[in-house]
Structure 1
Amino acid sequence: MRSGLLNSFGRLVRAFRSLGRDRTGNVAIVVALSLVPMLVAVGASFDYIRSYNVRQRMQSDLDAALIAAVKQINNSEDTDALKQKVSDWFHAQVENSYALGEIEIDTTNHNITATASGTVPTTFMKIANIDTVPVSVGSAVKGPATSYLNVYIVIDRSPSMLLAATTSGQSTMYSGIGCQFACHTGDAHTVGKKTYANNYDYSTEKNIKLRADVAGDAVREVLDMIDESDSNHERIKVGLYSLGDTTKEVLAPTLDTSNARKRLSDDSYGLTSATSMNYTYFDVALAALQKIVGTGGDGTSSANPLKLVLLLTDGVQSQRGWVVKNSSNLKKVAPLNPDWCGYVKNKSATMAVLYTEYLPITTDWGYNDTVGSTMASANWKSNWGGTMRSGVSTSITRRDYIPYALADCASSKSLFLSASSSTEITEGLSALFTQYLSSVRLTQ
């Protein structure tokens, strides 16, 4: 009996040892035991990404609701009605299961704050008995409608702004005197029985509108918008500046838009097509502009205004004396270095840029040997310290690189526009101003 028990016990021990040596079963057991935490870990990352995406959408929808509401503050003192609008706009975009928290509206200072929250059902995390993930967001907006603002309108006064503004005007200029630009300097022209002292005299005789004239129209549109936005002339000041070898102040920031209109139209102030500058030195002019503009404020008082620069330009660093056949200076005619715009932007002022497109005039040797040539031939880095945007080939023409440079000059993509026709130029500057005015600052 005793020996039988011993034999049975021995067989049991040998069986356990055999099981320990059998790797095939162990692998299956280990995999089975580790599968649950692996699924939980993978599922947690999946559910986290899903909840993150929901939170981002909720944040965007709450921001949009508050932005829409803040634009209505001027039209309503009824905060309950505005709160209902925030709720309506928010729930029109998100699932009804998401709840708005407390909404606070300050009609005096144009502030609205709100929170929202909800839960996101999980998928894989249910294995760990986690059925939902909570999400919450907060947003605060401040509308610019009551902010104090200084607007600095800067107009490029280079000879290229004397290009005829329309295709028909360019055709008339070229067929009459062989040049599309109404330059104030140059040879006299005899057309028929009449002699013209220069290209500009010919354009005046033919009533040809120039880009410099269209620039004036664009500024007048902005002045009209300032009158509309600040009908009592209490908050928004406007200043006028010409850009050439430096930046010259034509009118310091003023609440008097009628005075701005007078100086804009008066030839003696240098903003009409009757005059132009032979130099466009953005490195010097933008440094000078920064000293004029100074540091931007938060808009809470007239002593601490927000500051917006509206720059209308074709973006070419140039000097008339550089454009001489076979001159080594031809390579200097190139797009501005957008780093120079940092002089202004780094002082908390906002830069908006309207690019009056430099049209390709392949019949003109001056164009072909300057902006019609490649960026590689400009030696942009050594001449002006410029760094090409990543992914853009140096074989691109200088003319085609101008919009890249000017877009980088602007404070944001939404504050850069390109315009080629007279209509686009006129509407473009006011569109940039509208973009700035309609924006709000998300404060959290």
Structure 2
Amino acid sequence: MRIFGRFVADRSGNVGMITALLTVPLVGAAGLSVDFSHALSVRAQLQAAADAAAVGAIAQSSDAVATAMTMTGNGPIPIAKTDAHNIFFSQMSGETGNLPVDLTIDVTKTSNTLNSTVSFSAAVSTSFMQILGQTSMKISGTATAQYQTASFMDFYMLLDNTPSMGVGATADDVSKLQAKTGCAFACHQMDQASNNYTAAKSLGVNMRIDVVRQATQALTDTAKNERVTSDQFRMGVYTFGTKAEDAKLTTISSLNSNLTQVKAYTDAVDLMTIPYQNYNSDQLTSFDSALTQMNTIIEPAGSGNSNTDRQKILFFVSDGVADAYKPSSCTKKTTGGRCQEPIDTSFCKPLKDRGVKIAILYTTYLPLPSNSWYNSWIKPFQSEIPTRMSDCASPGLYFEVSPTEGISAAMKALFLKTISSPRITS
């Protein structure tokens, strides 16, 4: 009995027994940390692949965007799911290259927005946790992206080709013309075989109308390079008339998605001819009439979400000074009913009220301090010209370019600003 009592009372092996009992959970805990860190690393790689797939499937140059712009309604885009799948697995390498992954992809168009969702799940094998009977850990994640498709747009290019646009394009051109003719304007006067217009041509002087024509043609090339589909942009080109005797809104090129053809037609843009000096008291620049007529030509404005629901943009290029018979409603003083004034913005409002955007490229009206007519009639409101032009333009779509700057570059910058739209967000 004493031997049994001593055995029961003996505590000398407790530490060893407790250590043995704790070994399994301690090893399991350490293994959990290692396996968990490994699983997080694998998940990070898969998440990066999912991000790339969600974004890449609806990138600007993707088949999904091109397909979406041909769709007349909403719905899924199967080709985007294929692209997302391929992009995801192209990111796999090393361990992830052999890892079975369940992938769920959804790409749909709603209005002009593409929504992309890529979800993944996988089982990552464990090492140390197998001691506790857990052979794998589940990981999962989701990536989303959104893209607004480029809008379908119609551009109505209203180009001021009235006699004031015959001024030299730069200060140097003005000086050359004044030295030869005594005048800064290359008036295309038809009663004289030799006139300021022919003098400008012989001197190699660039008139402002020349630069505007060239800039418009260059813009058709920009539009071709920027479009996603062949019919995304359409352009029409209009002037104030080819001759003063029939001064009215004139179609140089009707609205057309064949931008190469529009470019060719724009060769016809030139300075309005006049039969003789001071014809019709030089009242040949009626912005009121041009804007009113454009309002009848421009079709109802749409959202731009499809080729049958297009945004409408009036792209107006001018030096901003109207000169027309307007005896009772002119915003400045008149002489014999002749009204010389900055653009009357009340004629811009009807277009805006219909949802038409107005983009204005103001080609700075050159001060002519040695010209008595300028000093008497234009100089008093010279500072108001850009303000009125800016007020006529839709928010953010006004650009002024001075004679020493590039009209072509300015026109391109204004065009790119007009077509810009939100991009991918994820």
Shorter-chain TM-score range? 0.5 to 0.7
1:428 is matched with 410
Distance 1:360 1:312, change over 3 A: same
Q: Give the secondary-structure state (helix, strand or coil) at the position aligned to 2:378.
A: coil
Cα distance in 1, alignment partners of residues 366 and 238 from structure 2: 24
Using the TM superposition, give the Cα deviation of residue 294 of structure 1 relative to its aligned residue in structure 2, in angstroms: 2.5
Cα distance in 2, alignment partners of residues 199 and 153 from structure 1: 27
Q: Amino acid of the residue matched to residue 321 of structure 2?
A: V
2:263 is matched with 261
Distance 1:321 1:305, change over 3 A: closer
1:378 is matched with none
Cα distance in 2, alignment partners of residues 150 and 314 from structure 1: 23
- Structure with greater helix percent: 1
Using the TM superposition, give the Cα deviation of residue 403 of structure 1 relative to its aligned residue in structure 2, in angstroms: 0.7
1:74 is matched with 61
Give the counterpart of 2:322 among 291, 299, 317.
Answer: 317
Q: Give the secondary-structure state (helix, strand or coil) at the position aligned to 1:332.
A: strand
Cα distance in 2, alignment partners of residues 304 and 290 from structure 1: 18
Distance 1:263 1:73, change over 3 A: closer
Using the TM superposition, give the Cα deviation of residue 331 of structure 1 relative to its aligned residue in structure 2, in angstroms: 7.2
1:280 is matched with 285
Q: Amino acid of the residue matched to residue 225 of structure 2?
A: E
Does the aligned pair in 1 maintain the 2:326–2:337 contact within 8 Å? no
Using the TM superposition, give the Cα deviation of residue 141 of structure 1 relative to its aligned residue in structure 2, in angstroms: 7.3
Distance 1:231 1:75, change over 3 A: closer
Give the counterpart of 2:169 among 152, 156, 165.
Answer: 165
Q: Amino acid of the residue matched to residue 434 of structure 1?
A: L
Cα distance in 2, alignment partners of residues 430 and 284 from structure 1: 27
Q: Amino acid of the residue matched to residue 197 of structure 2?
A: Y
Using the TM superposition, give the Cα deviation of residue 166 of structure 1 relative to its aligned residue in structure 2, in angstroms: 1.7
Using the TM superposition, give the Cα deviation of residue 301 of structure 1 relative to its aligned residue in structure 2, in angstroms: 3.0
Give the counterpart of 1:206 among 187, 203, 206.
Answer: 203
Using the TM superposition, give the Cα deviation of residue 230 of structure 1 relative to its aligned residue in structure 2, in angstroms: 2.7
Asked if 1:240 is matched to 2:242, the reply is no
Map 1:320-331 onto structure 2 (within 5 A).
Answer: 328-329=335-336
1:217 is matched with 214
2:330 is matched with none
Q: Between Structure 1 and Structure 2, whose CA radius of gyration is higher?
A: 2
Q: Give the secondary-structure state (helix, strand or coil) at the position aligned to 1:334.
A: strand
Asked if 1:178 is matched to 2:182, the reply is yes
Using the TM superposition, give the Cα deviation of residue 71 of structure 1 relative to its aligned residue in structure 2, in angstroms: 9.0
Q: TM-score, length-normalised on structure 2?
A: 0.60
Does the aligned pair in 2 maintain the 1:354–1:429 contact within 8 Å? yes
Map 1:134-173 onto structure 2 (within 5 A).
Answer: 143-145=148-150, 147-173=151-177
Residues 331-358 of structure 1 deviation map (CA, whole Å, 9 limit, x = unaligned): 7211011121112111111110000000
Map 1:339-418 onto structure 2 (within 5 A).
Answer: 339-373=346-380, 398-412=381-395, 414-418=396-400
Using the TM superposition, give the Cα deviation of residue 235 of structure 1 relative to its aligned residue in structure 2, in angstroms: 2.2
Q: Give the secondary-structure state (helix, strand or coil) at the position aligned to 2:361.
A: strand
Does the aligned pair in 1 maintain the 2:224–2:259 contact within 8 Å? yes
Residues 175-195 of structure 1 deviation map (CA, whole Å, 9 limit, x = unaligned): 11111110113996xxxxxxx
Cα distance in 1, alignment partners of residues 370 and 87 from structure 2: 60
Does the aligned pair in 2 maintain the 1:186–1:199 contact within 8 Å? no
Listed as ranges, the gaps of 5+ residues in structure 1 are 1-67, 84-102, 115-139, 189-195, 374-397
Q: Give the secondary-structure state (helix, strand or coil) at the position aligned to 2:205.
A: coil
Q: TM-score, length-normalised on structure 1?
A: 0.58
Cα distance in 2, alignment partners of residues 236 and 318 from structure 1: 33
RMSD (Å) for aligned C-alpha atoms: 3.7
Q: Amino acid of the residue matched to residue 237 of structure 1?
A: R
Q: Give the secondary-structure state (helix, strand or coil) at the position aligned to 2:158.
A: strand
Length, aligned pairs only: 293
Asked if 1:332 is matched to 2:330, the reply is no
Q: Amino acid of the residue matched to residue 405 of structure 1?
A: R
Distance 1:186 1:401, change over 3 A: farther
Cα distance in 1, alignment partners of residues 285 and 58 from structure 2: 40
Using the TM superposition, give the Cα deviation of residue 172 of structure 1 relative to its aligned residue in structure 2, in angstroms: 0.9
Cα distance in 2, alignment partners of residues 198 and 361 from structure 1: 20
Q: Give the secondary-structure state (helix, strand or coil) at the position aligned to 2:169.
A: coil
Q: Give the secondary-structure state (helix, strand or coil) at the position aligned to 1:303.
A: coil
Residues 107-146 of structure 1 deviation map (CA, whole Å, 9 limit, x = unaligned): 68652579xxxxxxxxxxxxxxxxxxxxxxxxx976342x
Cα distance in 2, alignment partners of residues 327 and 70 from structure 1: 62
Q: Amino acid of the residue matched to residue 271 of structure 2?
A: S
Distance 1:201 1:308, change over 3 A: same
Range moving further from structure 2, 147-156 or 237-246:
237-246
Distance 1:72 1:151, change over 3 A: same
Using the TM superposition, give the Cα deviation of residue 234 of structure 1 relative to its aligned residue in structure 2, in angstroms: 2.3
Cα distance in 1, alignment partners of residues 351 and 87 from structure 2: 37
Using the TM superposition, give the Cα deviation of residue 368 of structure 1 relative to its aligned residue in structure 2, in angstroms: 0.8
